[in-house]
Chains A and B, each alone.
Chain A
Amino acid sequence: MKYIDHHAHMVSRTTDDYQQLALTGCVAVTEPAFWAGWDRSCGDSVEDYFRQLTEFEPKRAAMFGVQHYTWLAMNPKESDDRELSRDVLQRIPKFLDRPTVLGIGEIGMNRITRNEIATYTEQVELAIEHDQLILIHTPHLEDKLKGTRISLDVLARYRELKPERVMVDHAEEHTIELIRDHGFWAGLTLYPQTKISPQRAADVIEKYGPERICVAGACDWGPSDPIAVPRFAIEMRRRRHADALIERVIFENPVRFLSQSPKFKVTISTPEPARVG
């Protein structure tokens, strides 16, 4: 079954993982800019990372027939550093015309400081100014509810912002209604420990339905799974849900959201990647 993983930090993964994605039916990944696990020393370092996202990763993915797209941002974990954030934000616009850049992301908060909110707000304004899609990171664990509430409060200040062009990611049971009630897309992140399991993601679909929900693996340098999305599909099949419902969640929904960027070339009729490698 073909699928899209809208949140995969492939710079942290091996080329073998791209092969696994292709072998399991992945048509495209989108890679948000994120924290490397350590703080970068300067804007030049972040700019090199943007080059890696826009030049190197699409080529690695293409080796296996997987389309690679990206999101650019000052990531939440470093966004408390206002000096670095201002430097990075002024570098982003020159990358926005590159053919695989879909929007601004992942933006949001980590510990929900006043500095993080200021950087997040400036990035929302940057996205609006350049008519970009937005991908929002919501904080981890005990900070998720508070971070989601404040993230949505900031968005509410911008009447010109179309909610259907925003995905609020890492949603869980206690935040998904809040997100969808405001008209945003909700992303469920399939993680072994700190986010949501394939079983709980299937529960969310059963309880709330598939409208404006996508699932992703968010694989990165920590404990995570590059083929988490097909594991979700297996969980749905384990419960005997129809393939049409599964395909809607793992393929059609991300196509609908991501196709709001004219750069995103996957359509509902795009076939699975050739089984190569």
Chain B
Amino acid sequence: MKPHPQKSPLTGTEIVDEYFIENRTRLLEIAAFLDRVDRVDLTVASRDFRMQVLAEAVAALAAKSDRLMRIQMLLSDPTIEPLDRLDRKSALGAFDRSSHPEVRS
């Protein structure tokens, strides 16, 4: 289906005026979280697959376009094969690519 966009009535400067502070806050929260982890364990960021994906996602923010879609795909399970049996009840928030060597980052 062809999308029919509804362009934001706000100008670029108006969007920055309206949303800068809350996104400044979000950025500082991410930085504080990464520092908090490092203060306790300098190795977990390189060991935990969730932290590895988070680092890739942060790097994706520097892309020139489609940042959100890039991050959604980084976090998603790209496989199509169902599980043979239930392993756990809840999702973890990121896909562990190390458990699927056939899947490239």
Contact = CB atoms under 8 A, between A and B. Distances in A.
Interface of A: 77, 80, 110-117, 139-146, 149-150, 172-174, 177, 180-181, 183, 199-200, 205-212, 238-241, 245
B84 interface: yes
A206 B4 CA distance: 8
Interface string B34-57: 000000000000000000000000
Can you list the 6 inter-chain pairs with the closest CB atoms, starting with the nearest? A209-B4, A141-B91, A174-B72, A240-B9, A145-B76, A208-B3
Contacts of A207: 3, 5
22 contacts: A111-B87, A112-B83, A113-B83, A113-B85, A114-B82, A114-B83, A114-B84, A116-B82, A139-B91, A144-B76, A145-B72, A146-B80, A173-B68, A174-B69, A180-B1, A183-B1, A206-B5, A206-B8, A207-B3, A208-B3, A208-B4, A211-B1
Given A174-B72, A240-B10, A113 B91 contact: no
A241 B5 CA distance: 12
A184 to B, nearest CB: 10
Contacts of A210: 6
Interface string B3-39: 1111111100000001100000000000000000000
Contacts of B68: 173, 200
A114 B83 CA distance: 6
Interface residues of B, number: 35
A103 B5 CA distance: 31
Nearest to B88: A111
Nearest to B95: A142
Contacts, number: 100
A150 B9 contact: no
Contacts of B4: 208-209, 211
B90 A113 contact: no
Contacts of B72: 145, 172-174
B8 A239 contact: yes
User: Which of A80, A116, A146, A180 has the most chain B CB atoms inside 10 A of its CB?
Assistant: A146
Nearest to B66: A173
Contact of B5 (A112, A141, A209): A209
A228 B89 CA distance: 26
A116 B85 CA distance: 9
Nearest to B1: A180
A113 B84 contact: yes
Given A111-B86, A111-B87, A113-B83, A142 B5 contact: no
Contacts of A205: 6
Contacts of A200: 68
B6 to A, nearest CB: 5
B95 A110 contact: no
B5 A208 contact: yes
Given A143-B77, A174-B76, A208-B3, A113 B82 contact: yes
Nearest to A212: B1
A272 B84 CA distance: 49
User: Which of A111, A144, A212, A238 has the most chain B CB atoms inside 10 A of its CB?
Assistant: A111
B73 interface: yes
Nearest to B74: A142
A114 B85 CA distance: 7
